[in-house]
Amino acid sequence: MEIQVHTDQRDYTVTVERGSLSKVRGIIGDDAHVFIVSDSGVPQKWKDILCGQFPDAHMHVFEQGEASKNIDVFREILEDMLACRISRNDILIALGGGVTGDLAGFAASAYMRGIRYVNIPTTSLSMIDSGIGGKTAIDLNGVKNCVGAFWQPYAVIVDPDILSTLPERHLNNGMAEAVKEGLIRDPALFALFEQDDWKDHLDEIITRCLVIKRDIVEQDERESGERKLLNFGHTFGHAYESWHGFGTCLHGECVAMGMMTVLNDPEIKIRLHNVLQRLQLPETCSADKEDIFRLVMNDKKADHGTVTIVQVDEIGNGHLETWSSEQIKERLEAI
Ligand SMILES: NC(=O)c1ccc[n+]([C@@H]2O[C@H](COP(=O)([O-])OP(=O)(O)OC[C@H]3O[C@@H](n4cnc5c(N)ncnc54)[C@H](O)[C@@H]3O)[C@@H](O)[C@H]2O)c1
Ligand SMILES: [Zn+2]
């Protein structure tokens, strides 16, 4: 299945196909030099399948984990690209999860004022969410995603077979974003998670999420309006994530708790509760409420004492609301 993405910066194709990792050379259809970036946690067998198609390519492997999304690793990638004489016409390939995509995408955006990069996401979160959209970033002094660029990929290749090696906690973590997309845009997607056999529908889940994200990104490339809907569960989720320390509680897990915190409708809350139980995702957080309040109000989306919240009163139909600081406080006291 191919999904076309049109953006101001570039048009590109997302290929979703089992076995597509073996066909990267053909899909790119280019004989440019390639430079591959991956992390130490991506299983060797996936690296071998990719490298086998590009015998001359250099692979830069950095230490797995969010802690690597920093300026030192960013610089090391750029230095390695320079040492390998990567030119403006060459292609960077990112093979990994969201950390790899964010770091490598940012390196591609900066190197020689921007070279093409191909994203091959290998986690559920990156296949569903971070793999498309063109947001790239690193963390700085503990502030997440604080330095980055909008840089659209040249192509995205999604091979669901790669998920076969992903630990269950990470698989479920990414699914929190799929549940979110179902709630804001796609009742049929949400309904897939209300069945015990949801894992038999992975390809459909990924494709539905990519189409939703594509449609939203195309309408709103730089996150001024429609794209904010994708932040459902993220206002409180980001606060939970920074309270726990990045990496302790995974992003999707915090989004799951954030969706439960913000939802008003009791029936939707019960349905979400059942889905989160099935996915072994957390619903409540032991974090200090005063701390969470401060973190929510300091979030970059907070504006003059009010916060834009995404709400879902009907499954498939998310909308934006403005909450005052009192409303945030009351909600935290109520949970
Ligand atoms: N750019 C965006 O739009 C966007 C959106 C959401 C999240 N993000 C970013 O994504 C990052 C999180 O991404 P993530 O959850 O993919 O984490 P990750 O990239 O750290 O991957 C999770 C772990 O799984 C390992 N791994 C990757 N693929 C594997 C596989 N197939 N089999 C076994 N192990 C595998 C990795 O080595 C890593 O240890 C965060 O930094 C977040 O800020 C970016
Ligand atoms: Zn998210």
Ligand 2 center to 125 CA (angstroms)? 8
Q: How far is the CA of 148 from the centre of ligand 1 (A)?
A: 17
Token pair for 229: 């809907």
Lowest mean pLDDT among 73-77, 137-141, 174-178: 137-141
Smallest CA-to-CA distance from 12 within 176, 217, 314 is with 217
Query: pLDDT tens digits, residue range 233-254?
Result: 999 999 999 898 876 899 999 9
User: Based on the domain organization, do 275 and 227 belong to the same domain?
Assistant: yes
Please indicate, yes or no, whether residues 43 and 144 belong to a single structural domain of this protein.
yes
Residue type, 50: L
The residue among 120, 141, 165 that closes a domain is: 165
**Three-state SS at 318:** strand
Helix 251-262, helix 325-334: angle, nearest 10: 100
Q: Quick check: 303 pLDDT over 70?
A: no
Q: Which atom of ligand 1 is nearest to the CA of 135?
A: 1
Task: Identify whether residues 147 and 41 lie together within a single domain.
Answer: yes
Q: What is the pLDDT of residue 302?
A: 62
Same domain? For 236 and 179 the reply is yes
What is the structure's pLDDT at 226?
Answer: 76
pLDDT in the model for residue 130: 86
41 CB neighbour count, 10 Å cutoff: 19
Q: What is the pLDDT of residues 306-324, one digit of tens each?
A: 999 999 999 999 999 999 9
Tell me what the mean pLDDT of segment 251-266 comes to: 97
Which atom of ligand 1 is found nearest the CA of 177?
A: 6
Are the CB atoms for 60 and 35 separated by under 8 Å?
Answer: yes
Q: Could you say which of 143, 165, 187 is where a domain stops?
A: 165
Q: What share of the chain is helix, strand, coil (3-state, %, to 5)?
A: 50, 20, 30
Q: What are phi and psi of 94, to 5 degrees?
A: -100, 120
Closest C-alpha to ligand 1, atom 9:
98
Q: Are residues 97 and 143 in the same domain?
A: yes
305 lines ligand 1 (CB under 6 A): no
CATH number, domain at 34?
Answer: 3.40.50.1970
pLDDT tens digits, residue range 106-154?
Answer: 999 999 999 999 999 999 999 999 888 899 999 998 788 899 999 999 9
Of all residues in the chain, the percent with pLDDT exceeding 70 is: 96
Residues 186 and 255 in one domain: yes
Q: Are 220 and 246 in the same domain? A: yes
Q: Are 60 and 77 in contact (CB under 8 A)?
A: yes
pLDDT at 219: 82
Six-digit token pair at 28? 């790119």
Domain that holds residue 324: 168-334
Q: Which CATH number covers residue 306?
A: 1.20.1090.10
Q: Tokens for 83, please give them.
A: 């040492």
Instruction: Provide the H-helix boundaries in 228-288.
Output: 234-244, 251-262, 266-278
Torsion from C-alpha of 84, 87, 91, 94, nearest 10 degrees: 50
Question: How many separate domains does the chain show?
Answer: 2
Among the three residues 127, 143, 165, which one is the final residue of a domain in this structure?
165
Residues 209, 265, single domain; the answer is yes
- Nearest bound ligand to the CA of residue 144: 1
Closest Cα partner for 271 from 168, 179, 170, 177?
179
Question: Which pLDDT score is estimated for 301?
Answer: 60
Nearest CA to ligand 1 atom 3: 130
- Looking at the structure, do residues 25 and 97 belong to the same domain, yes or no? yes
**Both 177 and 277 in a single domain?**
yes
The atom of ligand 1 lying closest to the CA of 165 is: 32
Considering the domain architecture, whether residues 59 and 160 belong to the same structural domain is answered as yes
Same domain, 158 and 173: no
